[in-house]
Amino acid sequence: MVVVIMGVSGSGKSTIGRALARAVDGRFHDADDFHPAKNVRKMKSGQPLTEADREPWLEALRVAVESWLVQPGVDVLACSALKDSHRRQLGVDGVRVRLVYLHGSAGLIRARMEAREDGLLSPDMLDSQLAELEPPEDALTLDIEEPVETLVQQIRSAFNL
């Protein structure tokens, strides 16, 4: 099984994803590691990515997800997956590739982004991410104000992990 933890930057995808992977003795992957160098430079300079920019990234992620599905165990992917088309490309099917949507207020997310020292995106990019976000209807939706341990337990319970 692959569990995709999605949401805008600053929603806690990596934190929750790492904690979930540890709790289920799974493998954690950060979608940011799959971006071509050109995308990383663009994001660090404060420019939003276009769909054309995202295409090679999503293709690399799709290939990775397919490879993880043939391995035993659980893989956890922290990925923005802002649009329905992105999630479809990743293979989210509700059975073998499950989706968790980390949802919270823009104010809380912005505060988290401002407190981070190592984020790929600056807090100024939050508005463009929120504008692009297509909230999923078929995901386990969790409130990011809850403690990490609570969110991990909710995921484990929902997906029988």
Residue 115 pLDDT: 76
Retrieve residue 4's tokens: 């995709």
77 near 5, Cβ under 8 Å? yes
pLDDT at residue number 98:
97
Q: Does pLDDT of 116 surpass 70? A: no
Q: Average per-residue pLDDT in the chain?
A: 91
Local confidence band at 112 (pLDDT 50, 70, 90 cut-offs): confident
In the predicted structure, residue 123 carries a pLDDT above the cut 70: no
If one compares 34 and 108, the residue with the highest pLDDT of the two is: 34
Mean pLDDT, rounded, for 43-67: 90
83: tokens are 């649009």
Amino acid at 53: D
pLDDT score of 10: 85
**C-beta of residue 80 within 8 angstroms of C-beta of residue 5:** no
CB 98 within 8 A of CB 1: yes
- pLDDT, one tens digit per residue, over 23-37 is 999 999 999 999 999
Q: What is the pLDDT of residues 87-107, one digit of tens each?
A: 999 999 999 999 999 999 888
Strands 140-143 and 27-30: unpaired
Mean pLDDT within 6-18: 93
For 99, phi then psi, to 5°, come to -125, 130
